[in-house]
Amino acid sequence: MEDKALRSIGVIMDGNRRWAKERGLSTMKGHAAGAEKIFQIVEWAHESGVEEVLLYTFSTENWNRAEEEVEYLMALAKKLFTEQLARFLDAGVRIRFVGDLTRASTTLQGVMREAEERTQNGEKGTVVFAFSYGGRAEIVAAVNTLLTQGKTEVNEDSFREALWSSGLLDPDLILRTGGEQRLSNFLPWQSVYSELFFTDTKWPDFSKEEFSAVVAEYYERDRRHGK
């Protein structure tokens, strides 16, 4: 039973833009609705005993989107971790960021550092924002870190320590909303034994009932880890 404990989940929050288009709304309205869903899934995860929630917030590839959309997403992130920070504090969760944060503005980098600092004493779990994140980029960065340290030989433990996600759990479960069935460069090193769940439901419409059904199915699966 110990191997099946659901301690960490990863979420690919897909479908914001299509959700907005179906309703005749702007892309920005879709992203705003998706951001609101973050607070809900953190709450649902806590109720299910999950210790860590890893959210694929903004990928390295997302920098290639239209300038207007990228600017809006950066502004939305700033709002989330300033004006809305009290909601994370009230929830008692720690915030952590993983990714190539140097690509964000110095202002946003400062906002993210402050969010981590102000929530560091949270005792009800951790919410991890994969921001400017790409799995391949994370692996390459880890290799370069080890080379800089003069390493000539590494093992899995030392390599894990060099990752942006060092100190975090591997996700037991990865959920993707929005109908696509791929991981899209999300946690390739960490997901080798993750249980994968895909749903057609677009992220803003994802419900507590569907989340509970995913958790229930997770506990029905046989996780042998090669044994």
Closest CA to 11 of 133, 220, 171, 164: 171
Domain range for residue 53?
2-134+172-220
Total domain count, the chain = 1
Inter-CA distances, 137 with 101, 132, 156, 188, 189, Å: 12, 10, 18, 11, 11
Residue 147 lies in a domain: no
Query: Which is the catalytic residue, given 14, 16, 170, 185?
Result: 14
> Residue 144 domain-assigned?
no
CATH at residue 204? 3.40.1180.10
Q: Tokens 């897909």 identify what position? A: 14
Check if 62 is active-site: yes
37: tokens are 């869903």
Could you confirm whether 200 is annotated as catalytic?
Answer: no
- Per-residue pLDDT band for 224 (boundaries 50, 70, 90) equals confident
Q: Is the pLDDT of residue 14 over 50?
A: yes
Structure token pair of residue 123: 């005792």
pLDDT of residue 1: 42
Q: What is the pLDDT of residues 64-89, one digit of tens each?
A: 999 999 999 999 999 999 999 999 99
Closest CA to 138 of 115, 160, 111: 160
Q: With H, G, I as helix, E, B as strand and everything else as coil, classify residue 13.
A: coil
pLDDT in tens, 154-166: 999 999 999 999 9
Percent of the chain predicted with pLDDT > 90? 96
Q: How far apart are the first and last CA of the chain?
A: 14
